[in-house]
Structure 1
């Protein structure tokens, strides 16, 4: 399984949120899925491109909503991220932690033919 990460960046003019996450792709019953275990977010579609676009929309909405509600750092901490609020830096959990702490991901990893996505997600909001 090839290692690949997605990069996300959010800026509201005053604050910027940037992070990088692993994303996985699989197909099940003619539907493609893109999943980020570090954020527990999923996108889907009838093609890889549709799944990717769906994931980008879900990721964008997650970042916008949690940032606007001022809960983004709390949500990331709840997902196992290391958060430094003062410097506004976040670090995603490592792969082994995701496998041990995220039951859904552990099940997917063991039962599906997961492939790391071959292109980056670039999220820039202004």
Structure 2
């Protein structure tokens, strides 16, 4: 598996956030879930598409809220990301560290038939 599972760029020149995340999908009781262990965020829906849209909404709310509260970098640090505020770049934990540090993800990885999806998401903050 790719060692670098997630990274992000943040620009204050009109608030652009670019994330590349590994997403994990699974289905349980006719509900689809999309989970990003690097951010510990989950979306869900009755289809893969609904789950993906739900996840994108959750992700956008996370970015907008933490940006508005000026806690984005602190929150990423709390999640284990390496943060370089001067260059406005952040790098997530690698896959093995995510498994070791995130008990929820570790349990999901062991117990569910997860499908990995690598996704690039661009958000424009107003």
TM-score bucket of the superposed structures, by smaller chain: 0.7 to 0.9
Compute the displacement of 1:10 (Å).
6.1
Compute the displacement of 1:80 (Å).
0.3
Normalising by the residue count of structure 1, what TM-score does the alignment of the two structures yield?
0.86
5 Å-filtered alignment, 1:1-126, equals 13-117=13-117, 120-126=119-125
- Root-mean-square deviation (Å): 2.4
Contact 2:34 2:55 in 1 (8 A): yes
Contact 2:7 2:91 in 1 (8 A): no
Contact 1:9 1:125 in 2 (8 A): no
Using the alignment, how far apart are the partners of 1:9 and 1:90 within structure 2? Answer: 7
Cα distance change of structure 1 residues 97 and 71 upon mapping to structure 2, 3 Å threshold? same
Contact 1:80 1:92 in 2 (8 A): yes
Give the count of matched residue pairs: 124
